[in-house]
Structure 1
Amino acid sequence: MAEKIKKYFQKKKIEAKFKMAGPGYKLADDSSRSSCSTSSRKEPVPVPVRSTPHSNEAKQAAAAAALARLGGQRHHDHAAFNTSLAAIQAQVRRELEAERKAKEMIPPPSDANVSSNPVVQDTSPHLAVTGVYFRCPMIGNGILSKEEWNKKIREFLYEQLEEERGLTACLIIHSCNKGQEKVSACVEILCKYLQNIILNPTEEKYQKIRMSNRAFQERVAPIEGSQDFLLAAGFQIRKQAFQDSEDDFLVFSKDGDDSIENLQVLHDALQSAEPIGLELDRNLQVLLPSQVADRNELPAVFFSISPEELKREQQLRTEAVEKGMMLRTKAMREKEEQREMRRYRYALIRVRFPDGVFLQGTFYAHEKLQAVREFVHENLLCENRPFILAAATGHRLNDEDSDKSLVELHLVPASILIFTWDPITGDDFGNEGQATYLKPEIMLLLQSC
């Protein structure tokens, strides 16, 4: 059943109109496919689509344009390509200057085209990242914030509701409601409604639901998609007599033997359906040491509690530190430390290379260290050479640590790891003192000061 739902929405992803940016288009159109493929050739390194100051957009656009023009040259003469930091920075500066001149020639938008509700962002120059961003392969290829994706997912599902009401309603219930406990309670009672009719098809008492019933009002009605699910199952809203007055009921209308079979299909679909998943985007950035020193603040989305609550608790902890430290046992301190680690949702990891460049990525706080190693590996110029990651304290993170979470290794909410080649294999891979460690297309993302 889960596979049926997946295949259906994979088909709808191709057929449906879905706006990621600018005018909408059908994903199945030949023109749109060719346009997408052309765009992907010009921008092999995905850049998050989000609202940022023009200077950042110019830098990213310039880096992608430089990569596209330099790509052909690398195919003809890869060995002759100059990957030194100075050459890359010079190339990026030229691209930025060209982008600036191009923007000066574009007239500013008229007042009629300016949104009356502009998006307010924290534009502090000291933020390490502007936010946390995601991908949703089932819906599209954009890189957006979780709030933006939730809106896109809701729009996508409601576009499919008229054509396939039952299966779509299952996904709406699981994907468009907050609070897993509330969703589970609703799914439980909806399945009970259907199961009662399946097991007792002739019992009339199971074929109608009073909508003012307390259980329905508390556990079903508040859940988005629940009423569409019942209507798809064959229920209809009718007024019927109840205790000397009329009340609204959902009444099941049996339409042949297929209706019972349809109930079983929807029952299984509702139980097996899962929320439409989001994949965390690494938000890859390449930084210089001066930028790392200036950008050391994390946005509020990294924390499980609000900044005000975090600040208040930190103040209370500071006031009680002297007497508290003397009274707590080691076990108590470790327990408090773990409680502190659970405050964080995400981790910002910066990997420092011997040439002074930092590679930055965003991870879930409970992801394994192995995910960080894979992130570094896929961006290295020499992909086959073993390397070592060490904490800023000098502690080497070995193979045993790869299966530990970033929380367990105390790498949240932000940490710097030191990169070195494995000295045991150094002779097999050439000179240690190479000019650059990251791929040329990744180095083109180096942000100017």
Structure 2
Amino acid sequence: MAEKIKSFFQKKIKDEKFKHAGKGQKLNEPSSSAPSSSKPANIPKRHEPTEEARVAGKATLARLEGQKTSAPKLNTSYAAIQARVKKELEQEKLALESEMALGQEKTTKQEDPEPHILAVSGVYYQCPMISDEVLDKKKWFDRIEEFLTAQLVDDEAGLSACLVIRSCNDGIEKINTCVDTLCKYLDNIRNDPSEAKYWKIRMSNKIFQEKVKPFKGSMELLKAAGFVPKVLMHQDKEEDFLVWDPDRSTVENLTTLIDALKSSESVQLQLDRNVHVLLPSQAAVRSELPSQFFVLSAEDIKREQTEKSKAVERSQMLMTQAMREKLMKDKERKYKFTLVRIRFPDNIILQGTFAVSENYQEVVQFVQQHLSNDKFPFYLITATREKLTEADFEKSLETLNLVPAVVLTFFWDTNSNTEAPSQYLKEETLNLLQSM
């Protein structure tokens, strides 16, 4: 069934691309560039824009033209980047020397600190099963629902409905209950197709109302299974039912849908690394993390600060093992994502977003894929001069305390008897250098 779901997605994506490929043409027909002798279709008259629209359009064009001429293209050649880094380091050194020379003569007036901005604008995902887009989670949920819902009208509507149920509803336990209930409906018919009482589902039934009907995809699944709405007598009054029609489905079809319901999973999203390349000055000011990185809200974090005052009391009281484990779990739930920055010997900084549950090996592979030679032997060191090794590969970033943000220093492995590279990051990565 997993292979069937995979081929289902491949077919649907192929169909989507085909739909947008334009009108087809027979091999023996002249190309579209040749003049046609047929009578042209009636083209509707174009409405002239209003005066306000004209003014707005001119203003937009003027602004764009101004941007084209006033904003020079960023030079991302390695030599230019190195020159910028060298200039920044010299300016930083001069500023530090000037500050030390002033000493006690420093004025009491303090300069305003440089404004801090977000290191990343948010957390983004990819979904290769659907498209090549990079979107935030909410937009992806809408996109997935839109894609799957569009498939509920074809021959594979049942499989689409299973994926809608798994992917477009909230609460894993409630979803599992819905799936179990649907499987029971279908299983009763499959095991005893001659028993008419299994053919009917009373729509006012409490179980149906609470565990099935509210879930997206559930009604489409029952329709694909052969159920049709009917009004029947029940306890001397008419009521709405869903009734299984053997002419619209087969026992084999029910078996297929049961297997699909049990084996299907929600459409998975992949965390996008949101790769950035930064100069030291850029990294210094881009230090704030977006709220998506934290499990707790700002108010919760403030409340937690007040709880720290009670830490001494807790440390002095006798605690059970269960109490200690609960405190550890509460601590681990603070962060969902972490921002990893790799500082190279040439002072260029590579940045990526990771889930705190990911292993350290993922960071190593991230660095490798952006090196000018992915075979370069290297290791990373933390701010506390701790060397991370292969022994840490399977440890999570949370376990290694590399959260919610960390700067790791890249070191060339001199024991490898390999010459150090003249350039660490590949050109495609350097082209991502952020403009100021």
Output the CA distance in 2 between the equivalents of 1:136 and 1:203.
44
Could you tell me which residue of structure 1 aligns to residue 20 of structure 2? 26
1:85 aligns with 2:81: yes
CA contact (8 A) 1:406 1:412 kept: yes
Residue 299 of structure 1 deviates from its aligned partner by 1.1
Instruction: Determine which of 261, 264, 267 is the counterpart of 1:270.
Output: 261
* Structure 1 pair 175–302 and aligned structure 2 pair: CA distance change class (3 A): same
Could you tell me which residue of structure 2 aligns to residue 97 of structure 1? none
1:127-184 Cα offsets, whole Å, 9 max, x none, are: 1110011111111111111111111111111221111321111111011111111111
Could you tell me which residue of structure 1 aligns to residue 250 of structure 2? 259
What's the secondary structure of 1:301's corresponding residue?
A: helix
Output the CA distance in 2 between the equivalents of 1:304 and 1:438.
33
Could you tell me which residue of structure 1 aligns to residue 355 of structure 2? 364
Output the CA distance in 2 between the equivalents of 1:359 and 1:372.
11
Residue 338 of structure 1 deviates from its aligned partner by 4.0
CA contact (8 A) 2:340 2:351 kept: yes
Could you tell me which residue of structure 1 aligns to residue 105 of structure 2? none
* Structure 1 pair 296–421 and aligned structure 2 pair: CA distance change class (3 A): same
Worse-superposed segment, 270-279 or 185-194: 270-279
CA contact (8 A) 2:163 2:267 kept: yes
Residue 343 of structure 1 deviates from its aligned partner by 2.6
Worse-superposed segment, 297-306 or 391-400: 297-306
What's the secondary structure of 1:160's corresponding residue?
A: coil
Output the CA distance in 1 between the equivalents of 2:82 and 2:227.
70
Residue 322 of structure 1 deviates from its aligned partner by 3.8
What's the secondary structure of 2:370's corresponding residue?
A: coil
CA RMSD of aligned residues (A): 3.0
CA contact (8 A) 1:85 1:436 kept: no
Give the residue type in structure 2 aligned to 1:323.
E
Output the CA distance in 2 between the equivalents of 1:438 and 1:328.
53
Could you tell me which residue of structure 2 aligns to residue 73 of structure 1? none
Give the residue type in structure 2 aligned to 1:227.
M
Could you tell me which residue of structure 2 aligns to residue 406 of structure 1? 397
Output the CA distance in 2 between the equivalents of 1:330 and 1:247.
57
* Structure 1 pair 87–142 and aligned structure 2 pair: CA distance change class (3 A): farther
Give the residue type in structure 2 aligned to 1:85.
I
What's the secondary structure of 1:178's corresponding residue?
A: coil
Output the CA distance in 1 between the equivalents of 2:198 and 2:209.
18
1:56-71 correspondence to structure 2 within 5 Å: none
Residue 311 of structure 1 deviates from its aligned partner by 2.4
Could you tell me which residue of structure 1 aligns to residue 53 of structure 2? none
Instruction: Determine which of 425, 429, 441 is the counterpart of 2:418.
Output: 429
Residue 62 of structure 1 deviates from its aligned partner by 8.8
Gaps of 5+ in 2: 26-63, 87-114
Could you tell me which residue of structure 1 aligns to residue 430 of structure 2? 443
Give the residue type in structure 1 aligned to 2:313.
K
Output the CA distance in 2 between the equivalents of 1:310 and 1:205.
56
* Structure 1 pair 275–178 and aligned structure 2 pair: CA distance change class (3 A): same
Output the CA distance in 2 between the equivalents of 1:443 and 1:337.
40
Output the CA distance in 1 between the equivalents of 2:213 and 2:358.
36
Could you tell me which residue of structure 2 aligns to residue 344 of structure 1? 335
What's the secondary structure of 2:381's corresponding residue?
A: strand
Quote the sequence identity (%): 46
Could you tell me which residue of structure 2 aligns to residue 222 of structure 1? 214
1:107-122 correspondence to structure 2 within 5 Å: none
CA contact (8 A) 1:346 1:412 kept: yes
CA contact (8 A) 1:341 1:412 kept: no
Could you tell me which residue of structure 2 aligns to residue 45 of structure 1? none
Output the CA distance in 1 between the equivalents of 2:398 and 2:148.
35
* Structure 1 pair 351–335 and aligned structure 2 pair: CA distance change class (3 A): farther
Could you tell me which residue of structure 1 aligns to residue 132 of structure 2? 141
Could you tell me which residue of structure 2 aligns to residue 204 of structure 1? 196
What's the secondary structure of 1:16's corresponding residue?
A: helix
1:242 aligns with 2:234: yes
CA contact (8 A) 2:122 2:290 kept: yes
Output the CA distance in 1 between the equivalents of 2:299 and 2:289.
14
What's the secondary structure of 1:262's corresponding residue?
A: helix
* Structure 1 pair 391–334 and aligned structure 2 pair: CA distance change class (3 A): farther
Output the CA distance in 1 between the equivalents of 2:391 and 2:85.
38
* Structure 1 pair 408–242 and aligned structure 2 pair: CA distance change class (3 A): same
What's the secondary structure of 1:130's corresponding residue?
A: coil
CA contact (8 A) 2:78 2:430 kept: no
CA contact (8 A) 1:390 1:419 kept: yes
Output the CA distance in 2 between the equivalents of 1:328 and 1:448.
55
Output the CA distance in 2 between the equivalents of 1:401 and 1:211.
55
Give the residue type in structure 2 aligned to 1:429.
T
Larger Rg, first or second structure (1 or 2)? 2
Normalising by the residue count of structure 2, what TM-score does the alignment of the two structures yield? 0.76
1:158 aligns with 2:158: no
Residue 422 of structure 1 deviates from its aligned partner by 1.4
Could you tell me which residue of structure 2 aligns to residue 7 of structure 1? 7
Instruction: Determine which of 365, 377, 395 is the counterpart of 1:374.
Output: 365
Gaps of 5+ in 1: 19-24, 32-53, 68-80, 91-123
What's the secondary structure of 2:266's corresponding residue?
A: coil
Output the CA distance in 1 between the equivalents of 2:318 and 2:399.
21
